Structure 1
Amino acid sequence: MKKLSTTLIAVVIAFLLGMAAFWGFSRDRSPELSTEEQSTILLQQVRKVMKLVTVEGDIAEIFDSKQTKTYTLYLPLPTPIAFVKEAAVEVSGKVLVGYDLEEVRLDIDEESRTLRISNLPEPEVLAIDHQVKFKHVKESWWNVFSSDDYSKLNERAKARLHDKALESHLVEEARQQGNGLIETIELLAKASGFTVEVEGREKERIVEGEN
């Protein structure tokens, strides 16, 4: 019996020592974290572009978005209950304004030493690099913001910057810069013995003279 007790005590001590060693080993080693990332690159379309940026401007705005979803409960009379979700959105970005030159035509007449420029476009917003911050978001139990809602708010924010740019002085400044570029081309052509004819320029000068 005494020998059995000694053996049992030895087994218990060995078990406790093993647990202590395992506990110390676990504490000394930090857990290993495994992170997996997958990236898919989609090349949808590659094309050559000819765009001339003449003006860039920084625009910022804060706007509110509110959507109400109404349910009718019969208690027993029809009782409308409204659930509202709203957000205050701050959007800021850099707007590039200039000309899309893909349709511009340049015709050179060597005999008359004339360079003819036609199909000149009007200045437009070429690109917008924007950032969106959600300053305040409030949701209801039955009306919450989804990922699609955030995507639409992002698109709406970019569209508002586009509209603000068209309402600002950026387009007129881009037009003036474009006219200055044409004058530079005229000077360079003149130095080479060429005359520049710009489609619509003579008509504009006549209108300006009448005013």
Structure 2
Amino acid sequence: MIKNILIGAAVIVAAVLLFKFCDFKKSDEDAISYNTNLIQQQIVNVGKLVVTEGHFSEVITYKNQQKYLLDMVSFEKKALIVVNADVTVAYDLHQMKYDIDEKNKIITIVSIPKEEIKISPDIQFYDVEQSKLNPFTGDDYNKINKQVKANLAKKIAKSTLKSNAQNRLISELSKILILTNTMGWKLQYEGKVIETEKDLGQQVKL
């Protein structure tokens, strides 16, 4: 009789322990699933178009000369060109690729899209001088456009526009870093564990 009672008690204890273990495991799985959903939602929130705008101006003098009769006669055309350009540097974070490792609690940023630079110049001609034997043609306008964009590209490279755009990008990505740190997850990029915003900045600017 006592033996049966002891066996019954042991079975009940084992059942309770098994139930608690299963309940604990379920709760742990629910927590991981909840955390994963939070991270995915944050990535969705970050996944937008980050745009930094700038404005540049320049003045160009364009000259071209056509010579005839063994260079004894020449006809020149020239113009003063004023350029005002709006420039945008954008990161489309909808295109960012990432991987979520639920088991090891690691978020890996697989790739960040390259910046997209858009130059929209407004070109105005002043003091235009030309002749019938050397008029302005479509070829001249193409050369001027090419020169304008080349000059603007150099100005953009020397300006803070691209670095400002990168800082905005890092600021957006830091939102993921803050969330992963808060939940005890890890963030990785380019094979390195990202622990601070400074780490993120160094990796993004490689």
Superposed pair shares fold, TM > 0.5: yes
Match of 1:175 among 161, 166, 183: 166
Match of 2:130 in 1: 139
Q: What are the superposed Cα offsets for residues 16-65 of structure 1, whole Å, 9 maximum, x if unpaired? A: xxxxxxxxxxxxxxxxxxxxxxxxxxxxxxxxxx9843421111111111
The letter for the 2-side match of 1:149 is D
What TM-score, normalized by structure 2, do the two folds share?
0.61
Give the helix-richer structure, 1 or 2: 2
Task: Say if 2:127 is the partner of 1:130.
Answer: no
Q: What are the superposed Cα offsets for residues 65-90 of structure 1, whole Å, 9 maximum, x if unpaired? A: 111111125xxxxx622211111111
CA distance in 2, matches of 1:71, 1:201: 66
Q: Give me the CA root mean square deviation.
A: 3.1
The letter for the 2-side match of 1:55 is T
Aligned length: 152
CA distance in 2, matches of 1:72, 1:194: 79
In structure 2, do the counterparts of structure 1 residues 53 and 158 end up closer, same or farther at CA, with 3 Å as the change threshold? farther
Q: What are the superposed Cα offsets for residues 91-132 of structure 1, whole Å, 9 maximum, x if unpaired? A: 11211113355874311111112110133355x452122211
**Equivalent residue runs for 1:1-211 within 5 Å:** 52-73=49-70, 80-99=72-91, 104-120=96-112, 124-199=115-190
Match of 1:37 in 2: none
The letter for the 1-side match of 2:151 is R
**Corresponding residue SS for 1:98:** strand
CA distance in 1, matches of 2:193, 2:69: 67
CA distance in 2, matches of 1:68, 1:102: 50
**Corresponding residue SS for 1:95:** strand
Match of 1:20 in 2: none
CA distance in 2, matches of 1:121, 1:200: 17
CA distance in 2, matches of 1:52, 1:102: 7
More deviation in 56-65 or 95-104? 95-104
The letter for the 2-side match of 1:167 is K
In structure 2, do the counterparts of structure 1 residues 56 and 62 end up closer, same or farther at CA, with 3 Å as the change threshold? same
Conserved in 2, the CA contact under 8 Å of 1:60 and 1:91?
Answer: yes
The letter for the 1-side match of 2:81 is V
More deviation in 104-113 or 156-165? 156-165
Q: What are the superposed Cα offsets for residues 166-190 of structure 1, whole Å, 9 maximum, x if unpaired? A: 2211111112222222212211333
CA distance in 1, matches of 2:86, 2:56: 7
CA distance in 2, matches of 1:83, 1:185: 64
The letter for the 2-side match of 1:138 is E
